[in-house]
Amino acid sequence: MKTVTADVVIVGSGAGGGTVAQELGPLVQSGKRVLVLERGPRFRDEEFTGHELDMADGLYLDGGGFLTADGAMTLAVGQAYGGSTVMYTGTSLHAPARVIEGWGVQGLGHDDLVERSRKYAEENHVHRLPDKEINDNNRLFVEGARAAGFTPEQFPVNVKGCLGSSLCNLGCPNGAKQGTHKVQLPRAEADGVEVVTRADVIGIGDRELRVRVHSRAKGAMGSVSEWDPGEYQVKAEVVVLAGGVLGTPPLLLHSGFGPHLPNLGHGFTCHPAFILVAEHPKEITNDVGHPKSFFVDRGVEEGFVLETCMYFPFVTAKNLTGYGSDHATFMNAYPRLQMILVLACDKAVPGNRVGSDRMGNPTVHYTFTPAVVESLAAATRSAARIFFAAGAQRVHAPLADPPRLERSEAPQIDKRIQGLHFLPGTVSVSAAHLMGGAGMGSSARDSVTDAWGRVHGHPWLRVADASLFPDSLEINPYLTIMALADRVAEGVLEDMS
């Protein structure tokens, strides 16, 4: 085993790790060594072909098929230089004041988070797309939502030179998405921060990590690692964990931190979601243009958010409930389909947690609470109203039995769409906003880290990813992760000085 020594090691290069890497660049200028260890490979833009299966295989944990322990929900997690910022849609929202105040973390203020978020919104070119770049799928959502009595809002997104491929979730083929792979990491590397890809951290001890660097399999996408394949011991004065919710808590648990940190792995939330589709009488622009430009936020009132979306054929087929002729009716109408993603604002509850198996692989135990099921049902009813108000002929609603609703049945939406039809294992639920597991708080009795991401009892160890969230954020999390990571970097800089 080779030994490498650094001053700071950052595990993960997504919204959290990429941000910390950039902010610690000045340390390198002053003679310190800063390493980023990223599990996934480094991709070139031309490798993002939009080919659904290849991209899912190359970019996502378990090819996009990571399941919760009971198999009832699929979790989407990116693995790449840039983490999940490579394959998200770039939606960038500021954390709501009520949520941050509700977390009740002493020393964490909403104003501070927003100020830091603004900095990254500017750096990453966050803006609202002009009307001419909005496709019919999004336009119909806005029209339908207004007609049905909702207030649609436009997502700010972090794209620059978007050609409207609609392939955001498979990696942007045009290099338009301004994730950490395009902004923070290149700047960090220009400052001398070293990024090592295909580097899997398999254990962590007192100021040292065990790292396994993988070779590139024959025919696999992405570049070879910057280091030779093999096992390494990496020693560092400061370690920042930013491997995400399926990275950080499982690593700490597998490395024996659990007994001293009883809240480790707990507080997991994920905004459980599924897609609804509706068929319009005429073709619409749906698989061209940015897919996720608008949303309706009913988090406070009814515990859900509706977002525009457009998925690829296999993902769409998988997410529609059932099979056979009704299923085929919608799939064969692909050019006429409008889609809405419904997300429940779940709350941290006992039992919903992230863990580690004996090999160190992540596990997630999640039970849908009655409140989540009711939120999903209310969201489904609202989405169905929006579809019909926008002129759809029929709607596929996973919480109706059968799931197909014709336009003539619109008056029966409340009766037809109900939570009692939610049967885990038949409805395809997925989640991409994984949060919690190493929550912030005041002591090990109520949390895993302090308000600056420092792990209780381990001053050399910090967390800088969505694991820090003590509860659901109720919006898309990336900008908030970057703001929290900015605080972590500030803490590290103070430590190092």
Partner 1 sequence: MNGPGSEPVLSSLQAPLRAIGSVVLPSPEALDGEGWLEAEAIMERALASKPSGIKRQIRLFLRLVNFLPVLTTGRTLVKMPVERRAAFLQRLHRSPLMPLRRGLWGIRTLLFMGYYNQETVRRRIGYGADPWGWTAHFGDELRAAETPDSPGGGTEEPSPEGEEVAS
Q: Kindly list the residues in this chain that would bind partner 1 in the complex (CB under 8 A).
A: 44-46, 48-50, 52-53, 57, 62-63, 65, 70-72, 92, 118, 121-122, 125-130, 132-133, 156, 159-167, 173-176, 217-219, 283, 285, 287-289, 312-314, 316-318, 322-325, 327-328, 331-332, 334-335, 423-426, 428
Q: Which is nearer to partner 1, 126 or 464 (CB)?
A: 126
Question: Pick from 320, 378, 386, 387: which is nearest to 345 by CA?
Answer: 378
Query: Shortest approach of partner 1 to residue 233 CB, angstroms?
Result: 27
Residue 464 near residue 240, CB atoms below 8 Å: yes
Q: Which is nearer to partner 1, 217 or 420 (CB)?
A: 217
Question: Pick from 248, 239, 232: which is nearest to 205 by CA?
Answer: 239
Question: Which residues are registered as beta bridge partners of 78?
Answer: 60
Strands (E), 245-287: 273-279
Q: Which is nearer to partner 1, 263 or 476 (CB)?
A: 476
Q: Which residues have CB under 8 Å from 74's CB, separation 6+?
A: 64, 65, 66, 67, 428, 429, 430, 431
Taking the C-alpha atoms of residue 256 and residue 187, their distance in angstroms, rounded to an integer, is: 35
Give the pair of three-digit tokens for residue 139. 């336009």
Query: Shortest approach of partner 1 to residue 220 CB, angstroms?
Result: 10
Task: Give the distance, in angstroms, between the CA of residue 385 and the centroid of all CA atoms in the same chain.
Answer: 27
Query: Shortest approach of partner 1 to residue 374 CB, angstroms?
Result: 21
Q: Which is nearer to partner 1, 53 or 300 (CB)?
A: 53
Query: Shortest approach of partner 1 to residue 384 CB, angstroms?
Result: 22
Task: Give the distance, in angstroms, between the CA of residue 283 and the centroid of all CA atoms in the same chain.
Answer: 31
Residue 488 near residue 453, CB atoms below 8 Å: yes
Query: Shortest approach of partner 1 to residue 462 CB, angstroms?
Result: 28
Q: Which is nearer to partner 1, 288 or 371 (CB)?
A: 288
Query: Shortest approach of partner 1 to residue 221 CB, angstroms?
Result: 13
Q: Which is nearer to partner 1, 55 or 253 (CB)?
A: 55
* Distance set, CA 413 to CA 76, 397, 404, 407, 427 (Å): 30, 10, 11, 10, 18
Q: Which is nearer to partner 1, 259 or 370 (CB)?
A: 370
Q: Which residues have CB under 8 Å from 297's CB, separation 6+?
A: 153, 305, 475
Could you give phi then psi for residue 11, rounded to 5 degrees?
Answer: -100, 110
Query: Shortest approach of partner 1 to residue 41 CB, angstroms?
Result: 15
